[in-house]
Amino acid sequence: MMYELIDFKIHGNHDGNLVALEKGNGIPFEPKRVYYIWGNHSDVVRGKHAHKKLEQVIICTSGSCDFILDDGNERQTVHLDNPAQGLYIKHNIWREFTNFSKDCVVMVLASEPYDESDYIRNYDDFIKLVA
């Protein structure tokens, strides 16, 4: 399985909506880091890497974008446009993301602190690793 889409519980009423995330409640791991990305031009391609160990849940909290996922055998595109849904990606998946709407904000919950040595930034190295 290359990815999983997780539907979060929405605490909604006449005031609007609220989603709360924690381990076992929307997030399959103990989050150790949160970061968010915005202000990208529509045709910018971010990512272009895989992770050796890191797991992440990726949420488009505003607007939309496309994630292109590659496990070394096939590529799949996932369109994210729902703040109540998370894209769960485990390790050894090459990811690129693009097609950003103007109002796109991508929030990511990560299983580990930032560690550049966990990144595989060369596609040929990635293919060798997963072959």
Residue numbers of the site for ligand T46 (CB under 6 A)?
33, 35, 37, 46-47, 56, 58, 95, 108, 114
Minimum distance, C-beta of residue 98 to ligand T46, in the bound complex (Å)? 11
- 49, 51, 79, 91: which is the annotated catalytic residue? 49
Closer residue to ligand T46 (CB): 8 or 67: 67
Q: Known catalytic residue: 14? A: no
Which H or E run includes 70?
A: strand 65-70
CA distance 69 to 6: 16
Question: Which SS3 state, helix, strand or coil, does residue 94 take?
Answer: strand
Identify residue 18 by its one-letter amino acid code: L
Catalytic residues: 49
